[in-house]
Structure 1
Amino acid sequence: MMLVLYLALSTLTGGSVYMAYSDAASKEALYQAKQANIDMQGVSIRFGWSLVLAWISGGAQLVTSFGFLLACRLITKQREVLEL
């Protein structure tokens, strides 16, 4: 159960690192273009659907992992009650 939680956090961390790196890379590219007097007016830097799907996937994994943990807790409580 904890593996699913770990994977969800890994997915979200990976998406965050990707966004931070992409932001820094785009700022550096714009800075270098400005230094070289290159017109960047027509250039658009955006994140694609893969990043959106990664965030949705990470959120779904978190919900699933908490659901599994809750189910395990409920089953454990039921077993304790039945043993009494």
Structure 2
Amino acid sequence: MDLHVTFLVLLPLSVIIMMVSAVLGIVNLLARAQWLLVVTGILLMFGALVTMCGVCVYVAYCAAAYREAIRLLLSTGADGSKSLEDGIDIRFGWSLALACVSLVGEALTGVAFLATAWMLSHQRTGEDQGIEIK
């Protein structure tokens, strides 16, 4: 039951972090602040970590539910003519696949924000020294 509550908290938290990151990204377009790029990148990387933890907990929860279903099926004295797998149907759906795509997208976007901040800091350092960077 703890696993169920955990992934019910982690996955919506990941969506909230994505939304806050999107708002920060839009504000960053207007403000053009380097520190905001770094904050947005770090927040997106944290969101990817939360998504990954949520997916892992969900998979562990499904495995525990499968083991519990097998235990219950065996304890009820299921007849031998029927296979155990026929009585239990646990599948991962599109939501898990989309969560994995979201994880990759969040991580890549976070890396892009951090790389942009890094390039911007080096560009400003070059301008401060009178070096022209093309």
Same fold (TM over 0.5): yes
Alpha carbons 2:62, 2:90 under 8 Å: kept: no
Distance in 1 between residues matched to 2:74 and 2:127, nearest whole Å: 72
Distance in 2 between residues matched to 1:42 and 1:29, nearest whole Å: 9
Structure of higher RCO (CA pairs closer than 8 Å, 6+ residues apart): 1
Partner SS for 1:47: coil
Alpha carbons 2:48, 2:107 under 8 Å: kept: yes
What is the Cα deviation at residue 26 of structure 1?
0.9
What is the Cα deviation at residue 25 of structure 1?
1.2
Amino acid in structure 1 at the alignment position of 2:63: D
What is the TM-score of this pair, normalised by structure 1? 0.91
What is the Cα deviation at residue 43 of structure 1?
2.9
Partner of 2:67: 27
Distance in 2 between residues matched to 1:42 and 1:32, nearest whole Å: 11
Greater mean deviation of Cα atoms: 12-21 or 38-47: 38-47
Q: Are the structure 2 counterparts of residues 36 and 42 from structure 1 closer, same or farther at C-alpha, using a change threshold of 3 Å?
A: closer
Unpaired segments of 5 or more residues in structure 2?
1-40, 130-134
Aligned residue-pair number: 84
What is the Cα deviation at residue 22 of structure 1?
1.0
Unpaired segments of 5 or more residues in structure 1?
none
